[in-house]
Every structure is written in structure tokens, then in C-alpha cells.
């Protein structure tokens, strides 16, 4: 039977590529969208026309109750979640001098609390069934810090701390927990950065001299989700064109 893969933030640049990749590999793919997102139906229709049929559920990943209700509905309608990709995330960049509590909290809740909120309702089932994959999308900026991103860097570093601790707890249960830390990938989150900043500040930091492609991250997710990756757990896999090596 096809495994169920839940990808949060499926309508985003990376989420879409990950969802398409997992679908092509035979998973039943379920995506989530923010409850206030009015474009999801058009996106689902567009995906369907292109041959990609996903289920999609509203979910505010930053809200514990919304996440529990979303996973309960998915498990009732579609089946137990075998692969969870915690991909949804936001940035609210500003120097620490300007950083206020609202923008700190928004980033911590959406990028870090969300990982707890979504992982909590799927883990017991994975353990009972003796198989599961939790894949957390962090960032190079969680590994090395970034100017103007005290909130984002802290949240993304926290994601990997979570990964390592949970990986230890479930290591003997057939469940792996891993982090992927992408560098700059050509999605809306990055292409919204002014071209001049990309050309003069960001791309010159990348030894490969280009942005990453969403498909390249999707390929890594597919590997971590596979049976072949059964011995990989607690890892933080960088995919950044050589920008940061640790």
C-alpha cells in the first residue's frame, strides 16, 4: 500500500517540489496550506492539470490545536502519516535593534513550535507501526547565523536540536528523524530579495555561483524518506552549493 507523506506548506516553492517528487515516487501526498490562504484551490487545480493530484488540508502549523485537528482529519480521511516533512516556514528579517516581540514570536511559532505541533500527533503511530520518517527543513542560517535573522537563525538552530533529541528517543523504533539545511534556493522566499543584493551579496558567497533548485532539495527529501535511508538519523544534511561546510 502506498505510504502517506504529509508535507506542510505544500504550496510554497520547496513544498511544491517536494510534494511533486514524493507523488512521482508513489506516495499518497497530503499538503497543508494556511487557513487564510485563498489561492490553494487554484493551486490544487493547476497541479491537477499538470498531472499532480494532492490532498490538501488547512492548517496553521504555528497553532497547536489547528495542527492536531489537521492531522486527525488527514489520518481519518487518508490514513496514518508515514512520512512527515516539516517544511512550512517564514522569515521576518530585521536587525536585533529593530526586532520586536511580534516578529520574534511569529518566526519562533511558525518555524520551531510548528515542528513540535506537527510531529507530536504522528510519532506514536509511527512507533506503533515500527516505521516512520520525520524530515525537518531547517536552513544554512540556522547553522551559521545570519545578519538580520536572530529570530530565524534561532528557530532553525532549534529545529536541529529537536531533531537530534527525538532521533535518540525513537532510534530503536524504526523511525528516523533528520534535518535538511538548505542554503539559498530559488523560491519566492529568496527571489523576493532585491536582485542587486542577490548579485552582490548572496551569490558571491556560494562557491557554486548559483542558487539551489527546489528539485535538488526534493531529491534529498526523497532519499531520507526511503527505506534505503533507514540508518540515517539525527543528521543535519547541508545542501548549499558549498556555502557553509561544517
Residues that bind ligand NDP (CB under 6 A): 8-9, 11-15, 32-34, 37, 59-62, 87-90, 110, 137, 139, 182, 184-185, 187-190
| 152 annotated active-site | yes
Q: State which residue, 109 or 133, has the beta carbon closest to ligand NDP.
A: 109
Tell me which residue has its CB nearest to ligand NDP: 12
The span from the CA of 161 to the CA of 163, in Å, is: 5
Options 27, 33, 152, 184, the catalytic residue: 152
Question: Cell match 511544491: residue?
Answer: 16
Burial 142-153 (b: 16+ CB within 10 A, else e): bbeebebbbbbb
Q: State which residue, 132 or 182, has the beta carbon closest to ligand NDP.
A: 182
Give the shortest CB-15-to-ligand NDP separation in angstroms: 5
Q: State which residue, 139 or 233, has the beta carbon closest to ligand NDP.
A: 139
Nearest residue to 52 via CA among 17, 5, 12: 17
Give the shortest CB-197-to-ligand NDP separation in angstroms: 13
Measure the N-to-C terminal CA separation of the chain; round to a whole number of Å.
Answer: 39
Q: State which residue, 119 or 139, has the beta carbon closest to ligand NDP.
A: 139
Give the shortest CB-122-to-ligand NDP separation in angstroms: 16
Strands of 49-94 (E only): list them: 55-58, 83-86
Contact criterion met (CB below 8 Å) for 8 and 33: no
Give the shortest CB-77-to-ligand NDP separation in angstroms: 18
E strand or H helix that includes residue 7: strand 4-7
Catalytic positions are: 152
Amino acid at each position: 500500500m502506498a505510504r502517506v507523506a504529509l508535507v506542510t506548506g505544500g504550496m510554497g516553492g520547496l513544498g511544491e517540489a517536494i510534494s511533486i517528487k514524493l507523488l512521482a515516487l508513489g506516495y499518497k501526498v497530503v499538503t497543508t496550506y494556511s487557513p487564510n490562504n485563498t489561492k490553494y484551490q487554484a493551486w490544487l487545480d493547476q497541479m491537477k492539470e499538470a498531472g499532480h493530484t494532492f490532498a490538501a488540508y488547512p492548517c496553521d502549523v504555528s497553532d497547536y490545536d489547528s495542527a492536531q485537528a489537521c492531522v486527525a482529519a488527514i489520518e481519518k480521511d487518508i490514513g496514518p502519516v508515514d512520512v512527515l516533512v516539516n517544511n512550512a516556514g517564514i522569515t521576518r528579517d530585521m536587525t536585533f535593534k529593530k526586532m520586536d516581540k511580534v516578529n520574534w514570536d511569529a518566526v519562533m511559532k511558525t518555524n520551531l513550535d510548528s515542528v513540535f505541533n506537527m510531529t507530536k500527533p504522528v510519532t506514536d503511530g509511527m512507533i506503533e507501526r515500527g516505521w516512520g520518517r520525520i524530515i525537518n527543513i531547517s536552513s544554512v542560517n540556522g547553522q551559521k547565523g545570519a545578519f538580520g535573522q536572530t529570530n530565524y537563525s534561532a528557530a532553525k538552530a532549534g529545529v536541529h536540536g529537536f531533531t537530534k533529541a527525538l532521533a535518540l528517543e525513537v532510534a530503536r523504533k524504526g523511525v528516523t528523524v533528520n534535518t535538511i539545511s538548505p542554503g539559498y534556493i530559488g523560491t519566492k522566499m529568496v527571489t523576493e530579495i532585491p536582485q542587486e543584493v542577490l548579485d552582490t551579496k548572496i551569490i558571491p558567497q556560494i562557491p557554486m555561483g548559483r542558487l539551489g533548485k527546489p528539485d535538488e532539495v526534493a531529491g534529498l527529501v526523497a532519499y531520507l524518506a526511503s527505506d534505503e535511508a533507514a540508518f540515517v538519523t539525527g543528521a543535519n544534511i547541508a545542501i548549499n552549493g558549498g556555502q557553509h561546510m561544517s
